[in-house]
């Protein structure tokens, strides 16, 4: 058990920027242990008034695009500006490839040794659907601990990148030239989510291909409907390896924030994100609670069988289950 006093001191240390406290708070919030749920909730309550001041960035890119190298470069640059930076690295493949996290640790080795940088890998295996909520909570903890920039990183495959787009203010899509990747990006709808597209590996003999890719992105962006009236997505290039173009990326991110401050767009966006997430969570938890009941599960199974065996229409089966649940709630 965690006593109220322990929780208070954990919150106080975290707000004071203590890294050990931040790591412990993250472990508590990530925990699925039933005894940890209540203290985790109280901790989040305690720190909420200290959140909201950080820039929330998301970055995605296919494996090998250079995300880790880029974050090391960007993170290092932000440190030179006197900013504190936290990186939450979501790894959807972690149960199978623990090596990937290990790889990230070594690739971001410079950053992870810095006093004002904090890197947290988030394995997603095991908690289906829960990753978004956890990531959001981890971001809030980083903000309360005084980090100026909080970056969520994920591999650009599947649902995970759509999910993080709903957690951040500014969404960066890291791309590379060639091999039809540019088309893939456009097809998969990443472009509709990206606020800034950065084409990495703009160095050596890649340069010409990168310029071509940049043009393609620019022209496809120009015909796309805008996500926000205040912001026209930009296409930039950089070399994370040579640490070139990183300052420009940051300056465009700052531009994004300046533009989005108009009509309080950012405040509206964040509020909307929070409400959407809450709505989704309430729906999920309510469903979970209902289906945790044996009798409801049983009724549901029966209804499925009825429809499967053509003994009932889907409409009748749906009505049956719904009425059953409502009836139980009334008693």
Give which of 52, 133, 124, 58 is closest to 94, Cα–Cα.
124
Give which of 260, 163, 172 is closest to 217, Cα–Cα.
172
Pairing of strands 149-155, 196-199: unpaired
Give which of 158, 168, 206, 202 is closest to 69, Cα–Cα.
202
The DSSP code for 244 is B
| 160 is an interface residue for Mg ion by CB under 5 A | no
Strand order from edge to edge, sheet including 117-123: 117-123, 85-91, 149-155, 55-61, 170-175, 196-199, 234-237
122 CB neighbour count, 10 Å cutoff: 21
| 199 is an interface residue for ligand GTP by CB under 6 A | no
Using the minimum distance from each CB to ligand GTP, give the nearer residue, 36 or 107. Answer: 107
| 107 is an interface residue for ligand GTP by CB under 6 A | yes
Using the minimum distance from each CB to Mg ion, give the nearer residue, 104 or 161. Answer: 104
- For residues 202 and 225, is the Cβ–Cβ distance under 8 A? no
Question: Binding partner of residue 195 among Mg ion, ligand GTP, none, CB under 5 to 8 Å per kind?
Answer: none
Give which of 237, 249, 242, 239 is closest to 182, Cα–Cα.
237
Using the minimum distance from each CB to Mg ion, give the nearer residue, 104 or 169. Answer: 104
Give bridge partners of residue 231 from the DSSP assignment: 228
**Contact residues for 12 (Cβ-Cβ < 8 A; gap 6+):** none
Question: Binding partner of residue 66 among Mg ion, ligand GTP, none, CB under 5 to 8 Å per kind?
Answer: ligand GTP
Give the residue at shortest CB distance from ligand GTP. 66
Question: Binding partner of residue 177 among Mg ion, ligand GTP, none, CB under 5 to 8 Å per kind?
Answer: none
Question: Binding partner of residue 146 among ligand GTP, Mg ion, none, CB under 5 to 8 Å per kind?
Answer: none
For ligand GTP, how many residues bind (rule: CB under 6 A)? 18
Region near Mg ion per CB under 5 A, out of 65-73, 121-129, 141-149, 237-245: 65-73
The token pair at 323 is: 């009425």
Site string for Mg ion, 102-141 (x = CB under 5 A): --x-------------------------------------
| 68 is an interface residue for Mg ion by CB under 5 A | yes
Q: Roughly how many angstroms between the first and final C-alpha of the chain, as a whole number?
A: 35
Site string for Mg ion, 88-107 (x = CB under 5 A): ----------------x---
The token pair at 244 is: 């070139």
Smallest distance from ligand GTP to CB 34, Å: 34
| 68 is an interface residue for ligand GTP by CB under 6 A | yes
| 94 is an interface residue for ligand GTP by CB under 6 A | no
Residues that bind Mg ion (CB under 5 A): 67-68, 104
Residues that bind ligand GTP (CB under 6 A): 61, 63-69, 100, 104, 107, 155, 200-201, 203, 239-241
């Amino acid at each position: 058990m965690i006593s109220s006093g322990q929780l208070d001191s954990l919150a106080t240390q975290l707000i004071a920027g203590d890294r050990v406290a931040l790591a412990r708070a993250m472990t508590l919030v990530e925990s699925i242990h039933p005894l940890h749920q209540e203290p985790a909730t109280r901790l989040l309550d305690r720190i909420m008034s200290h959140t909201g001041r950080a820039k929330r960035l998301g970055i995605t890119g296919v494996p090998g695009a250079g995300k880790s190298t880029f974050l090391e470069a960007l993170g290092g640059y932000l440190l030179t500006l006197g900013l504190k930076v936290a990186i939450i690295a979501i790894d959807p493949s972690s149960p199978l490839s623990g090596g990937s996290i290990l790889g990230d640790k070594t690739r971001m080795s410079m950053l992870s040794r810095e006093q004002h940088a904090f890197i947290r890998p988030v394995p997603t295996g095991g908690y289906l659907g829960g990753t978004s909520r956890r990531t959001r909570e981890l971001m809030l903890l980083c903000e309360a601990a005084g980090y100026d920039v909080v970056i969520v990183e994920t591999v650009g495959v599947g649902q995970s990148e759509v999910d993080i787009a709903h957690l951040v203010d500014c969404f960066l899509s890291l791309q590379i030239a060639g091999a039809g990747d540019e088309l893939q990006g456009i097809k998969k709808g990443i472009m509709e989510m990206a606020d800034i597209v950065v084409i990495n590996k703009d160095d050596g003999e890649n340069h010409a291909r990168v310029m071509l890719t940049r043009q393609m992105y620019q022209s496809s962006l120009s015909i796309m409907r805008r996500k926000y009236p205040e912001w026209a997505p930009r296409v930039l290039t950089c070399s994370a390896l040579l640490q070139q173009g990183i300052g420009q990326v940051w300056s465009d991110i700052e531009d994004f924030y300046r533009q989005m401050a108009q009509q309080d767009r950012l405040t509206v966006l964040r509020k909307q994100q929070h409400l959407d997430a809450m709505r989704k969570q309430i729906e999920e938890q309510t469903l979970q609670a209902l289906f945790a009941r044996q009798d409801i599960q049983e009724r549901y199974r029966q209804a499925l069988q009825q429809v499967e065996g053509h003994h009932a229409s889907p409409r009748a089966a749906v009505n049956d289950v719904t009425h059953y649940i409502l009836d139980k709630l009334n008693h």
